Amino acid sequence: MKLLSYIVFILIGASCSSDKEDYVPIENATLEFKVPANFPEPSYNVSLNPPTEKGFELGKKLFYDGRLSSDGVISCGFCHIQDFAFTHHTHIVSHGVGGALGTRNAQPLHNMAFMKEFTWDGAARHLDLQPIIPITAEVEMNETFSGIITKLENQPEYVKLFSEAFEDQKINPDNILKALSQFMLMMISANTKYDKIERNEGSVFTQEEAAGFALFNSKCASCHQGTLFTDQSYRNNGLPVDPQYNDIGRNRVTGLAEDLYKFKVPSLRNIELTFPYMHDGRLKTLNDVLDHYSDGMVDSETLDPLFKSQNGSLGIPMSAEEKVQIIAFLKTLTDDDFLNDDRFSEF
Amino acid sequence: MKRIAYTLLATLIIVLSCKNDDGGTPEPTFGTVALDFKNTINANGIELGTDSYTNASNEVYTISELKYIISNIVLIKANGEEFVYPVDEGYFLINEEVVTSKKISLADINAGEYTKIKFGFGVDQSKYPLNGMTNFIPTAEESGMLWSWSAGYKFIKFEGSYTVNGGTATDFLIHVGSHGTTLDNYKEITIDLPTALKIEESTSPEVAINVDIAKIFDGVNTHSLVTKSDIQVDPVNAPRIAENIATMFTATSVSN
């Protein structure tokens, strides 16, 4: 009699079980994505891919894993080194598998959640799509997504992480890219001296920095706008075309003649560390950059009209002293907390 | 013993009751359909590499490669009611070279009578993030449909060679996709079915779709290869070709 009752109970239990009840929720806390008080609203719709503990961990692991490249060596982190605001320190153009050289300088990674388009020419219109470019480019990671998936499926730790990070538990391109985005979304750099002044947290500019800030506002801020220090537009800033690359810039994406030689206005945060400068890394120091803007520009059909004055001269007039002051200000955009943040470190 | 019988009866009721959450409303039924794409010129199936065709600009061309992406399939009833095929499973590559790729099999479609089919040419990136849009990458990679540097898909890859007045053959290459955020060459195409498509649980209906490849050159716009034979990220010609492509699909028959 008692046995029969047990059977009945088991029957009841089994009959009502559904997939939902079989699903054992995994501890995967949502991470707090906090917009700094002095920042605009993010461009990325974070609610569609909210960073979680496991998703972030997976994204970080992928970011630093050479398996994402064909030779097993070149990871995302190979060209994006944290100490230099995730740029390829001293490398003029990025280096890829088998010693291949790219044609452009690796851009810093920070505040990606606030950017509308990605890469120097805006080829990627969404953060989730950006990694497709370096992963599949022959001169960068030279890998295919099918290749990556096969490699990851053979790693029990990845199988586990994917199953913990995503509800469908699958190792597929969608989840690979979402995990990488979760890692990059959390990479917010907003704790510079400049930020602390902008948020009234007690810091003050030195006299030189204050003078530099005033000059910056009158000479640079029309393009390097707002707290992100970019208006996210594409402009030709008068660099002579390097015949070695003949990089046509934004024109490669749109095919429009008006976009020839235009590149995205970069953010200037952590600019002290992201040398060398410009899309092809041709300028070594901040002083070289300012010299270019004051005296080095060449005219062309698409040169930004902002650089042309009525008397026909090109560039932004700056004295040697003014340059020193502007550079002093630019150095207030260095975020040591971000550069040393363990959450983003490889080891 | 009577008690056991009651208990068993109660159990049986519980078991049965747990089977259907709706309790009362009839279970919806589902069926399948296959969309059979036939790439033709002058109503004949195209032959890669061998046959030659003449366009309205009197250019004689042969085709070496023809691939395009079909996505976002929607079946529409006479009353306008739509069945949207799951977007994350809804990207297909039609490759002239691969016979199986030309028949798209759709499953788990709500039973009913449909009179129109709507689908996309290419991938609609403007509505990103679409679930699973990037899961199409491996297929696109394999068939060279990924524009690696632009993080997007080539919607069509149409290549071959052409001659004018019996002269020497010149290669042509037409790759159309979207150009960043500045130009979206994705096209939504709605075609009428000649007879109603009946989706039922036990049948496997097919819809034959004729794809008039000649329209790539001669549709609403006329494109001459002499004018431009290499179209990649071409803000003038790519949208004109995409407009032509939007007119090349017709449903020729429905077999229920």
Of residues A1, A123, A177, nearest to B149 (C-beta): A123
Specify the pLDDT at position A111: 98
pLDDT at A30: 96
- Span A156-206, pLDDT tens digits: 999 999 999 999 999 999 999 999 999 999 999 999 999 999 999 999 999
Q: Does A248 touch chain B (CB under 8 A)?
A: no
According to the model, what pLDDT value does residue A130 have? 94
pLDDT in the model for residue A9 = 45
Indicate whether A119 pLDDT > 50: yes
Mind listing the pLDDT tens digit of every residue in chain B (256 residues)? 445 555 544 544 444 444 444 445 677 899 999 999 999 999 999 999 999 999 999 999 999 999 999 999 999 999 999 999 998 888 999 999 999 999 999 999 999 999 999 999 998 876 666 567 888 999 999 999 998 778 889 999 999 999 999 899 999 999 999 888 888 999 999 999 999 999 999 999 999 999 999 999 999 999 999 999 999 999 999 999 999 999 999 999 999 9
Cβ pairs A/B, distance under 8 A:
106
Task: Name the A residues in 109-138 with CB < 8 Å from any B CB.
Answer: 117, 122-126, 128-130, 132-133, 136-138
User: How far does the CA of residue A135 sit from the closest CA of chain B (Å)?
Assistant: 9
A253 vs B150: CB contact, 8 Å cut-off? yes
Q: State how far residue B105 is from chain A, nearest Cα, in angstroms.
A: 22
Percent of chain A, pLDDT > 70? Answer: 93
Predicted pLDDT at A55: 98
* pLDDT (average), residues A253-270: 97
Q: Which of residues 168-187 of A touch B (CB under 8 A)?
A: 172-174, 177
| The pLDDT value given to residue B129 | 64
pLDDT at residue A17 in the model: 43
Instruction: Please say if the pLDDT value at position A20 is more than 60.
Output: no
Query: Quick one: closest CA in A to B185, which residue?
Result: A254
Best mutation site among A5, A143, A174 for testing chain B: the one with the most B CBs within 10 Å? A174
- Mean pLDDT, to the nearest integer, of A297-304? 97
pLDDT higher than threshold 60 for residue A103? yes
- Nearest-CA distance A346 → chain B (Å): 26
User: Does the structure's ipTM exceed the value 0.90?
Assistant: no
Tell me the mean pLDDT in the region A267-271.
98
Q: pTM here?
A: 0.87
Is residue A253 within 8 angstroms of chain B, CB to CB? yes
- Give the Cα separation of B119 and B131 in Å (integer): 17
Which residue out of A70, A125, A263 would a mutagenesis test of the B interface target, given it has the greatest number of B Cβ atoms within 10 Å?
Answer: A125
Separation in Å, CA of A133 to nearest CA in chain B: 5
Task: Identify the pLDDT of residue B147.
Answer: 85
Given this model, what pLDDT does residue B134 score?
A: 87
Q: Is the pLDDT assigned to residue A102 strictly greater than 70?
A: yes
Answer whether residue A23 shows pLDDT above 60: no
pLDDT score recorded for residue B18: 45
